[in-house]
Chain A
């Protein structure tokens, strides 16, 4: 980030747009969907399936947010999710808890490897996590014999994907709790301060005696663990996990983080913004499905990625304008 320039925070439209732009867009799209598609859009079923889908991406993006705030990046999350999902599905016969814990453990182990290579040995995060992306994918393919790992249908594993509370899937409740905990950790704990200090200016953080290395290891372990959990959620939701699942999740997660207002340069970030970013990018797909359902005009689902890219472009250009204005002497 830029040098700290202390400007009295004025509620400028631009600032509000950067900080809450994704949220505003999300609200606008939800209202648009509710008005245009009426009851079908607002049904419990649609909301449930939307949120259940979002849960796994949200988990991955939460971990990615913390990694990016330290100035790093984690490309391995998609492969780790596949690995975690395969392990969870294969152990599902032992029950829900052991399967979930195994997925978390596998994810944490890959995250630990990432963290140690990045923090202890100072290797480039982009390439380290590219390497573990390959390794984790290879392990997932190997374990699943290059096919899908099918969950034990007699076990309670898949029940997890069906539970809901107050009309919202349990998996999404967990996401909400974790994001609340993440926001709390960022703003109210030493860990959060260390994360932001590490990403803001690593050398300065070291000179101040902050545990930079330990903080970095922690965020990669967090990211890996959450990716493992996302894989387990996928398994519980669909009953099987393809060893090729999760491809490209890392870049989707990075896009959600950026749309949510976190700068890739580190040191600045919003946990809540990431959740909004995930919901926003996923909602686009849902709206396209509904528009096609009306049968008036046919929108190819390929627009989905084009619109997502356009969103990312708009957010990035907005961020650029705002950071430049802030960096300029006032």
Chain B
């Protein structure tokens, strides 16, 4: 994935920086940082192709591995945007619950599937505006700003639901979760399309450049005329909207909105996916494909270990170790 885009003014590519200083170890570390998640993906894929029965079937690959990875991957795309501004979004799991509950309730109220989806996404985007305002207008640290909705957001969703499962049945509404386009499960389609859009935005649009400039050095960006506040706000709104969309995907799959559990702990999975892609939390860098690979590789790693009879608990430990290794590679290449 040689597409880690970084702010040219603020940082050189770690590889060329390492090459310039002539440290061979650092060059290798930079490569490992860039391609590490990809290499791990290839290795896991090769291993499974040989060792796991029925792994190389369309059904396993699309319906199991990719479909399971898709929710985290889509949330991680938004997270990567926020992290590129130098922020973080802890509220995504709660926003998923809110959007899911709003979607389910408005659907049951009879507004129709399209309006229900639109209202749910609107509610999610409003959460993003709340987060973004605290960060941009009031200068609140992103961790604290998004912690507020992390805590209160789930309570809001639970108040909406009354603590009960909100069940429904509507094929059009559930298309986001259960539908297929040319045989490909909808969550996977969404993941690929959204990643492509984001990749294009980051690489070829003015927003992408101002985003990286904002995260790389906000003061310099502001002085050179970048509307830092607006750029940051868009990132938080996009992150919340993507989380809302995933909330709809999740409740579409289960035919019920469970405000207590939808999106629980997903913020950490998404952050882990971004971290494994080799993107530092300090901002100014984003790797769209890397984030996608990060989410898929963490899922595949878990599934592989569990398929080999490793207890789920131990698989979790391995994920933690992989994150630390990714951090070490980042550090060596600096």
Contact = CB atoms under 8 A, between A and B. Distances in A.
Interface of A: 73, 75, 117, 121-124, 126-128, 130-135, 137-139, 141-142, 146, 247, 251-252, 254-255, 258, 264-265, 300, 302-306, 308-310, 312-313, 316-317, 320, 324
Most-contacted residue by chain A among B153, B275, B316, B319 (CB, 10 A) = B316
B18 interface: no
Nearest to A146: B313
Interface in B145-184: 145, 147-156, 158-159, 162-163
Most-contacted residue by chain A among B143, B265, B313 (CB, 10 A) = B313
Contacts of B158: 300, 302, 305
Contact of A133 (B147, B151, B159, B320): B320
A233 to B, nearest CB: 23
Most-contacted residue by chain A among B90, B139, B152, B312 (CB, 10 A) = B152
Contacts of A252: 151
Interface stretch (B238-246, B250-258, B321-329): B321-329
A251 B145 CA distance: 12
A124 B149 contact: no
A308 B320 contact: no
B151 A308 contact: yes
Given A146-B313, A306-B155, A123 B331 contact: yes
6 contacts: A124-B327, A126-B88, A138-B316, A309-B151, A309-B152, A312-B144
Interface residues of B, number: 47
B148 A309 contact: yes
Nearest to B281: A124
B129 to A, nearest CB: 14
Most-contacted residue by chain A among B315, B320, B327 (CB, 10 A) = B320
B148 A130 contact: no
Contacts, number: 138
B159 A309 contact: no
B77 to A, nearest CB: 18
Contact of B152 (A130, A139, A258, A306): A306
Nearest to B153: A309
Given A124-B281, A134-B319, A309-B152, A317 B331 contact: no
A1 to B, nearest CB: 12
A320 B138 contact: yes
Contact of A251 (B90, B162, B315, B327): B90
A58 B298 CA distance: 34
Contacts of A324: 139
A132 B320 contact: yes
A75 B265 CA distance: 12
Given A127-B271, A254-B143, 13 more contacts: A128-B327, A131-B324, A134-B316, A135-B320, A138-B315, A138-B320, A141-B313, A141-B316, A142-B317, A146-B311, A312-B151, A313-B152, A316-B144
Nearest to B163: A302
A124 B319 contact: no
Contacts of B193: none
A306 B156 contact: yes
A303 B162 CA distance: 11
A30 B142 CA distance: 32
B189 to A, nearest CB: 30
A195 to B, nearest CB: 19
Given A131-B320, A300-B163, A305 B144 contact: no
A128 B324 contact: yes
A89 B143 CA distance: 34
A198 B215 CA distance: 24
B3 to A, nearest CB: 22
B88 A320 contact: no
A124 B280 contact: yes
Contacts of B265: 247
A133 B321 CA distance: 11
A303 B143 contact: no
Nearest to A314: B148
B327 A137 contact: no
B152 A134 contact: no
- Across chains A and B, which 4 residue pairs bring their CB atoms closest together, nearest first? A309-B152, A305-B155, A134-B320, A141-B313
A127 to B, nearest CB: 5
B152 to A, nearest CB: 2
A252 B328 CA distance: 29
Contacts of A135: 316-317, 320-321
Given A308-B151, A313-B148, A123 B139 contact: no
A310 B152 contact: yes
Contacts of B141: 264-265
A309 B149 CA distance: 7
A312 B152 CA distance: 10
Nearest to B315: A138
Contacts of B88: 126
B271 to A, nearest CB: 6
Given A142-B313, A304-B155, A316 B324 contact: no
A122 B281 CA distance: 13
B8 to A, nearest CB: 23
B317 A138 contact: yes
B313 A309 contact: no
Interface string B294-314: 000000000000000001111
B159 A306 contact: yes
Contacts of B163: 300, 302
A305 B152 contact: yes
A255 B316 contact: no
A130 B144 CA distance: 16
Contact of B317 (A128, A139, A309, A317): A139
Nearest to B90: A251
B58 interface: no
B268 A130 contact: yes
Nearest to B275: A127
A141 B315 CA distance: 11
Contacts of A304: 155
